[in-house]
Structure 1
Amino acid sequence: MSKVAGRKKRIIITTAAMLAVGGGAAFAYWSATGTGNGTTTAGTSSNFTITSSVTGGALSPNGPTQTFTFVVTNPGTGVQKLSAVDATVATTTGAAWTAVSGCSAADFAVGTPAFTIAEIPANGTATGTVTLQMIDRPGVNQDGCKGATVPLHFAAS
């Protein structure tokens, strides 16, 4: 029995010694702190592109109204919001238009563009319409507008 007791005693002492050595190593460490940063560059917006087609009869003073259907395209790589579309009788750069003497943007009335404010996905489109009518200007000779090609300029934002 004393042989067993001595053996148990040695096991207990050996285990305690191993725990003391191993336990001490478990509590040894270095303290540290650190910070880090990262950056990226966000892209930019792309200008919308706008195409249009027209339906309706030939324009004449107080005559038929033409309807332009326009398509706004987002050529960008991300979603862009279409908030406004303006349409005016103007050159392709948006400058004042006069086709010939006696005919100008003042001879025409452009309606309010109808479209839905939308977030357009990359390569997506939004469609709308706007009307154009030649107005009657009493006392003004509008012969200069006969046969004129009337440009409609669109600006989207």
Structure 2
Amino acid sequence: MRQLTKKSKVIAVAASAALVAVGGGTAYAYWTTTGTGAGTATNSAGGGTVVLHANFDAGLAPGNSETVTYTADNSSNTGTVVGTLTPSVITSVAECLPAWFTVTAKTSNAAVAANSNGTEVGTGTLTFLNSDANQDSCKSAVVTVTVASE
């Protein structure tokens, strides 16, 4: 075997250093994997809760009817829809029977915008039925239509 000269040794060391600098010392890593997954979330209560109101003119007398306008207030940041309205009648005087009144409600899935008040969501009719009984107790009664929505 032939012996390297001092000049050859310097060249060999320089060449080795150049290889390391140029790419001989470059390394990289990566991982591969496989898998599956799933997630779930629970939604909040749709558009939140709305406050419903039933409005009708005063002066209802036996045998007469008044138009009822149903409105909704939505204080949430999300719009919602009011579905079927279910109205009922209560009175402030026990002798003024709620059975003497009928009330209807028509709605068509009315949209109620976020942060809104007084949005009309339906209409109906409140009727004070004639009875063979004395209905004078209703003269001083407050008749209230309550309404709920599904």
Is the TM value for this pair above 0.5? yes
Tell whether the 8 Å contact from 1:79 to 1:119 is kept in structure 2 after alignment. yes
User: What pairs up with 1:81-120 in 2 under 5 angstroms?
Assistant: 81-90=81-90, 97=91, 99-101=93-95, 103-111=96-104, 113-120=105-112
Within 2, Cα distance between the matches of 1:146 and 1:116? 34
Classify the secondary structure of the residue corresponding to 1:115.
Answer: coil
Over aligned residues, Cα RMSD in angstroms? 3.5
Q: CA 1:81/1:144 → structure 2, altered by over 3 Å: closer, same or farther? A: same
Q: How many positions carry a matched residue from both structures?
A: 129
Match of 1:123 among 109, 112, 115: 115
**Residue number among 133, 137, 143 corresponding to 1:144 in the alignment:** 137
Q: What is the CA distance between 1:71 and its match in structure 2? A: 1.4
Q: Secondary structure at the match of 2:143?
A: coil
Percent of matched pairs sharing the same residue: 27
Distance in 2 (alpha carbons) for counterparts of 1:114 and 1:86: 9
Structure 2 spans left out of the alignment, 5+ residues: 1-14
* Residues 120 and 22 of structure 1: CA distance in aligned 2, closer, same or farther (over 3 Å): farther
Specify whether residues 132 and 22 from structure 1 end up closer, same or farther in structure 2 by C-alpha distance, changes over 3 A only: same
Structure having the higher strand fraction is 2
SS at match of 1:106: helix
Cα separation, partners in 2 of 1:67 and 1:40, compared to 1, 3 Å: same
Partner amino acid for 1:61? P
> What's the TM-score, normalizing by structure 2?
0.64
Using the size of structure 1 for normalisation, the TM-score is 0.62
Structure 1 residue 107, shift from structure 2 partner: 0.6
Shift of 1:153: 0.8
1:23-57 deviation per Cα after TM superposition (whole angstroms, max 9, x unaligned): 5566x31223689xx998855453211234323x6
User: Do residues 75 (structure 1) and 75 (structure 2) align?
Assistant: yes
CA-CA distance at 1:147 after TM superposition: 3.0
